[in-house]
Amino acid sequence: PGFPHGIIDNIPALAGFCADRDIPFHVDSCMGGFLLPWLKRLGRLNEPTRKNFDFSVRGVTSISADVHKYGCANKGASLIMYRSREMRKNQFYAITDWPGGLYCSPSVSGSRSGALLAQAWASVVILGEEGFLEKTRKIQDMHDRLAEEIPKIDGLEVVGKPDAYCVAFTSKDFDIYAVAEALDSFGWHSTRLHKPKCLHMETSDR
């Protein structure tokens, strides 16, 4: 889902448009990569235009996901997947005439600590399939309740039809940023957004 409003784009339509023109299509699933697949397994994504977002969709050529978000790893662990090995080979940088010899790297940053990768792997393995399903169920229950209860507050309305991860809300009656400041004073921190002016609250079990 998109960061501001938690709404999933119509990936089949967008990817199909690109496929018809032989244009690669990347799905930025950094926020939902470790959430949406489990929601799909739980039957919590039902609209056809929103429940299909992976390599089963014609035209999707690559997908990125952050393990440090709903994968529960420490920040700095992300992954990118490609539809084919042929496409993945373009990810690698290689120089053959460097005085130090052959130099190859799969990323811009070059050398990295293996600790983050080990920790990310351990987090995913420890949670396992049942752990992710249970976490996702709790997170989505909270998300759906927020989306249902916020409009019951006089002057507030939800932005769009959020699918997962966060609920954005605004007001036509008063300054929504003033609401954010009032919430801050009670320890309820929300993200301030614009176009339109609104706030969003993310859902998590942490």
CB-CB neighbours of 109 under 10 Å: 7
Query: Any idea which residue has 């976490």 for tokens?
Result: 135
From its phi and psi, is residue 43 left (phi > 0), alpha (psi between -120 and 50) or beta? left
pLDDT of res. 110: 64
- Geometric angle at alpha carbon 83, from 79 and 89, rounded to 5°: 75
Q: What is the pLDDT of residue 54?
A: 92
Tell me what pLDDT residue 113 has.
Answer: 76
178-206 tens-digit pLDDT: 999 999 999 988 899 999 999 999 998 86
- Could you say which residues of the chain have pLDDT below 50? none
Average of per-residue pLDDT values in the chain: 90
Q: What is the pLDDT of residue 108?
A: 65
Provide the total of helices (H) and of strands (E) in the chain, helices listed first. 6, 9
